[in-house]
């Protein structure tokens, strides 16, 4: 049952030495890991989807790497183990490229070397390598990979759960976005209606003021002394 659980982990092994590459492949398969091997750092980057060499220039894709890339679309890489001394791109260069990639930086990287150089080992560990194995790699070394694989898997699951939690919120926002123009239009219409009501109210008030003024003027004119009954001063009474 333990072996079946480990079988889900996929390791990418990088080494320019055929002998060392076959050795690490055998040790990983004995430990029930799925293994893909490449002979250079540039091919490792191609397999991982970073289509460029150490200087960022595009590389020509070989037929073998093309098949690897097609296979990689279906298989996730859970760990990378790479030789340090390789022509063209060293294992340290490959480590730096992976850690600089936003999509690959969480993949654990292990460095191997036949040279025990403390400064080299410290530099790799400080820049993100999980382990530094001295060659020849033994089965006991491979057994030390499991905690890193489990840690990486747990972190990936947490990120997936976080994305799944954000997805409903994103969908809800996307559903609300088409309604926003309609809401703005409705708000604008309501605002215009309020302005029209305000204008009509002011017009009514002005009309009422005018009517009141006219009535008042009529009343004042009817009460004016000049509007009293005419005097008959020019007539005399008969005696």
Kindly state whether residue 239 falls inside one of the protein's structural domains: no
Kindly state whether residue 131 falls inside one of the protein's structural domains: yes
Kindly state whether residue 10 falls inside one of the protein's structural domains: yes
pLDDT of residue 205: 77
Beta strand pairing call for 10-14 and 79-83: parallel
What SS3 class is residue 4? helix
pLDDT exceeds 70 at position 75 = no
With cut-offs at 50, 70 and 90, classify the pLDDT of residue 59. Answer: very low
Kindly state whether residue 140 falls inside one of the protein's structural domains: yes
pLDDT exceeds 90 at position 162 = no
pLDDT exceeds 50 at position 53 = no
Q: Give me the helix-helix angle, 146-176 and 179-222, nearest 10°.
A: 30
What is the DSSP annotation of 118-138? HHHHHHHHHTT-SEEEESSP-
Kindly state whether residue 172 falls inside one of the protein's structural domains: no
pLDDT exceeds 60 at position 52 = no
pLDDT tens digits, 172-203 = 777 665 556 667 777 778 887 887 777 777 77
Kindly state whether residue 190 falls inside one of the protein's structural domains: no
Range of the domain at 74: 2-167
Token pair for 191: 């605002």
Q: How far is CA 39 from the centre of its chain?
A: 34
Kindly state whether residue 149 falls inside one of the protein's structural domains: yes
Q: What is the pTM of this model?
A: 0.61
The 8 Å CB, 24+ separation contacts for 14-19 are 14/38, 14/39, 14/40, 14/41, 14/43, 14/44, 14/80, 14/81, 14/82, 14/83, 14/86, 14/91, 14/94, 15/39, 15/82, 15/83, 15/86, 15/112, 16/40, 16/83, 16/86, 16/87, 17/83
CATH number for position 9: 3.40.50.2300
pLDDT exceeds 70 at position 82 = yes
Work out the angle at residue 118's Cα, subtended by the Cα atoms of residues 108 and 122, and round it to the nearest 5 degrees.
Answer: 40
Number of domains in the chain: 1
């Amino acid at each position: 049952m333990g072996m079946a659980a480990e079988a889900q982990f996929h390791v990418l092994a990088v080494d320019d030495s055929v002998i060392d590459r076959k050795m690490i492949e055998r040790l990983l398969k004995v430990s029930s890991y799925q293994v893909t091997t490449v002979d250079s750092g540039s091919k490792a980057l191609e397999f991982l989807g970073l289509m460029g060499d150490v200087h960022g220039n595009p590389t020509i894709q070989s037929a073998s790497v093309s098949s690897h890339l097609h296979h990689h679309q279906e298989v996730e890489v859970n760990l990378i183990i790479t030789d340090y001394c390789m022509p063209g791109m060293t294992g340290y260069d490959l480590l730096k490229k992976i850690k600089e990639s936003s999509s690959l930086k969480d993949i654990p990287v292990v460095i191997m070397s036949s040279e025990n150089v403390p400064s080299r080992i410290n530099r790799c560990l400080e820049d993100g390598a999980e382990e530094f194995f001295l060659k020849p790699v033994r089965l006991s070394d491979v057994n030390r990979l499991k905690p890193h694989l489990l840690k990486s898997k747990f972190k990936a699951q947490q990120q997936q759960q976080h994305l799944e939690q954000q997805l409903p919120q994103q969908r809800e926002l996307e559903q609300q976005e088409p309604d926003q123009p309609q809401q703005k239009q409705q708000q604008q219409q309501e605002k215009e209606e309020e302005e029209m009501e305000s204008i009509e109210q002011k017009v009514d008030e002005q009309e009422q003021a005018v009517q009141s003024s006219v009535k008042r003027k009529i009343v004042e004119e009817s009460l004016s002394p000049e509007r009293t009954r005419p005097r008959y001063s020019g007539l005399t009474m008969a005696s």
